[in-house]
Amino acid sequence: MSSSSFLALKQITKRFDSHAVLYEFDLNIEDGEFFTILGPSGCGKTTVLRLIAGFEAPDEGKIVLDGTDISRLEAEKRPTNTVFQSYALFPHMTVFDNVAFGLKMAGVAKADIRSRVREALAVVQLTDFEQRKPHQLSGGQKQRVAIARAIVNQPKVLLLDESLSALDYKLRKQMQIELKRIQRQLGITFIYVTHDQEEALSMSDRVLVMNNGQPQQVGTPREIYESPRNLFVARFIGEINVFDATIIEARDDFQYLAQIHDKQWVIHANQRLEPGDKVHVLLRPEDLRIEYLEDANEADGMIGEVVESNYTGKTLDSVIRLDNGVTVQASEFFNEDDPDFAYKINQRVWVNWVHGWEHVIKADELS
């Protein structure tokens, strides 16, 4: 990575009671991007955020923000602000005083405070609530106040710690769009921590997937979803079918002949593989194609039996047990030719996929 990134964590090690939560951890974030750290709980993602905010000090390593080493700077002096999961509004202060808090601490003149608080509240669309107390606000409104309070100081980086997880589904969706809009409007770097992969994919410019204190993959949502680097990333981001395969021979242009269970397939991999290599062939449920056994050509796919089929509104999600014992999941969109297609339980089907849509990773790279 280039050394000129806006925010860089360099070889950070952080221990709690001699247990290393992060070990020689590197992270580079660009100016103005919406960056999400995604991982299961306890993976160290919140620790990364707290290190950047200054609530924790690294045992080893450096944090450089915009050319300045901030590793030893106290939290109150860092040009970062945090939106907490619990909102952490000051309960004894009005919305106005909550938002004005950071400006008062910075010694901003009274007249400026008024206009800047108004501006921040306008950004989060909460203009008429200045004199309310936090307990008079709904969850979504508290969330907006917390955001206004954090952006009013014009931080270089805004840190959001699972900030939407306390909201209900509909409000969360709405706030995701709001956050994106606020981030575009202000141009501030956002670092968002979450365990919700859907949230991560829909909001971010780039995503870091973490597990056990180790970065697993950094990339755009599309890269993370379509080309996971290892099995952990593949399985953590959405549903996925994993077929174990062995390379038989190399064809040209990254095409390989591979043995998957009892059948040979031509697969596409964007890396060099040798005959004998063990690989995983990854397929998202929506990449699978299913046909009634009687409609299919002999040469197509694997045969199996529908064990479950659920209508979700947008898609028909099915679980199919293949004759070789493997269970796969398929998700099919309804199409206008056959709007009420469905499967009976125990129905015999062919399972296939659009060739070239598979993603192949080497088996020894898995975590």
Partner 1 sequence: MTRISDPRAITGRLFKWLFIGLVFVYLYLPMAVLVTNSFNKSKYGHNWAGFSLKWYQELFDNNAMMQAFGHSLLVAALAATAATLIGTLMALAIHRYRFPLKSATSSLLFVLMMSPDIVLAITFLIIFIALGIQLGFWSLLIAHITFCLPFVVITVYAQMKSLDPNILEAAQDLGASEARIFRVIILPLMAPAVLAGWLLSFTLSLDDVIISSFVTGPGFEILPIRVFSMVKVGVSPEVNALATLLLVLSLTLVAVTTWLIKRQKNQ
Q: How far from 77 is each of 7, 65, 116, 186, 289, CA to CA, in Å?
A: 16, 13, 20, 21, 56
The answer to the question of residue 211 lying near partner 1 (CB under 8 A) is no
Choose, by CB under 8 A, the member of 57, 64, 73, 75 that binds partner 1.
75
SS3 labels along 152-195: CCCCCEEEEECCCCCCCHHHHHHHHHHHHHHHHHHCCEEEEEEC
Choose, by CB under 8 A, the member of 92, 110, 170, 314 that binds partner 1.
92
The answer to the question of residue 133 lying near partner 1 (CB under 8 A) is yes
Q: Is 320 helix (H, G, I), strand (E, B) or coil?
A: strand
Determine the Cα–Cα distance for residues 208 and 200; give it in Å rounded to an integer.
9
The answer to the question of residue 149 lying near partner 1 (CB under 8 A) is yes
Q: Which long-range contacts (CB under 8 A, 24 or more apart) does 312-315 make?
A: 315/286
Whole-number minimum distance, CB 76 to partner 1, in Å?
5
Whole-number minimum distance, CB 216 to partner 1, in Å?
28
The answer to the question of residue 77 lying near partner 1 (CB under 8 A) is yes
The answer to the question of residue 132 lying near partner 1 (CB under 8 A) is no
| Residue 139, phi then psi, degrees to nearest 5 | -55, -45
The answer to the question of residue 156 lying near partner 1 (CB under 8 A) is no
DSSP code, position 290: E
Pick 102 or 285: Cβ nearer partner 1 = 102
Whole-number minimum distance, CB 65 to partner 1, in Å?
15
Pick 80 or 217: Cβ nearer partner 1 = 80
Pairing of strands 34-38, 189-194: parallel
Determine the Cα–Cα distance for residues 122 and 354; give it in Å rounded to an integer.
48
Choose, by CB under 8 A, the member of 36, 46, 47, 82 that binds partner 1.
82
Choose, by CB under 8 A, the member of 2, 3, 18, 91 that binds partner 1.
91
Q: Which residues bind partner 1 (CB under 8 A)?
A: 53-55, 74-77, 80-82, 84-86, 88-92, 101-102, 105-106, 133, 149-150, 153
